[in-house]
Amino acid sequence: MGARNQVVAETILPSGHRVALVHGDLTEEEADALVNAANAYLKHGGGVAGALVRKGGPRIQAESDEWVQRHGPVPVGGVAVTGAGRLRARAIIHAVGPVWAGGDQGEDRLLAEAIRNTLEAARERGYERIAMPAISTGIFGFPKERAAPIFWETIAAFAAAHPEEPPREIRIVILDEATLRPFLAAFRERFEGRPIG
CA 1 to centroid of chain Cα atoms: 24
What is 6-191's CATH number, 3.30.460.10, 3.40.190.10, 3.40.220.10, 3.40.50.2300? 3.40.220.10
In tens, the pLDDT along 95-130 reads: 999 999 999 999 999 999 999 999 999 999 999 999
Is residue 4 helix, strand or coil?
coil
Please tell me the predicted confidence (pLDDT) of residue 128: 98
149 has a pLDDT exceeding 60: yes
The domain limits of the chain are 6-191
Please tell me the predicted confidence (pLDDT) of residue 4: 85
Q: H or E element: which one contains 123? A: helix 107-125
**Quick one: CA dihedral 79, 30, 22, 161, positive or negative?**
positive
193 has a pLDDT exceeding 80: no
197 has a pLDDT exceeding 50: no
CA 55 to centroid of chain Cα atoms: 17
Cβ count within 10 A of residue 25: 17
What average pLDDT does this structure show over 8-28? 96
Among candidates 72, 74, 27, which has minimal Cα distance to 53?
27
CA 20 to centroid of chain Cα atoms: 12
Place 192 in a pLDDT band, splitting at 50, 70 and 90: confident
| Segment among 11-15, 158-162, 187-191, 193-197 with least mean pLDDT | 193-197
Q: In what order do the strands lie in the sheet with 91-96?
A: 6-12, 18-23, 169-174, 129-132, 33-38, 91-96, 79-82
